[in-house]
Amino acid sequence: MLTISKRLKDSRTADLQLELPFDLRNRSRLRTSLNGEEAGLFLERGTVLRGGDLLLADDGRVIEVVAAKETVSTVRSRDAGQLARAAYHLGNRHVALQIGDGWLRYQHDHVLDDMVRGLGFSIAIDEAPFEPEAGAYGAGAHQHSILLTNHSHG
């Protein structure tokens, strides 16, 4: 099994790509597959991987993390105050949010969509990479130990 335990801070050319949705990029322990080869991710607890991050495997290969497209709900508004209101209500429910210029994005959930529609917004259901804010205390805030899980991505 290929072991990946180091995050690179420099830029190098990647040998492989590891495409993962946010829920799996939010884990420091993960069993996965890279081009059919079994791989184990063993990173520092609280590590959150972002699209474009580089990892170093025990055999010297460099792996680029790719944020997989996933089903997300996108809220758009030209009114920053109204958008802040939606962000407040979503944040009050501890929803991870990606924030862009004139829009908010969260992992699709029909109950949350109904709540946001009730605030007067339209929702677009998209397939897009999800890169939420790290939170007030950084990437490791409120992380709990997660056991190695079986999950395959090719």
- pLDDT tens string 101-115: 999 999 999 999 999
Q: What Cα–Cα distance (Å) separates residue 3 from each residue in 42, 60, 82?
A: 7, 10, 46
Per-residue model confidence as pLDDT tens digits over 53-81:
999 999 999 999 999 999 999 999 999 99
* 73 and 125 co-located in one domain: yes
Query: Residue 95, SS3?
Result: coil
* 17 and 51 co-located in one domain: yes
Question: Given this model, what pLDDT does residue 149 score?
Answer: 35
Question: Given this model, what pLDDT does residue 46 score?
Answer: 87
Q: Note down the domain range covering 87.
A: 69-129
Round to whole Å and give the CA distance between 52 and 129: 12
* 30 and 55 co-located in one domain: yes
Torsion sign over Cα 136, 145, 90, 92: negative
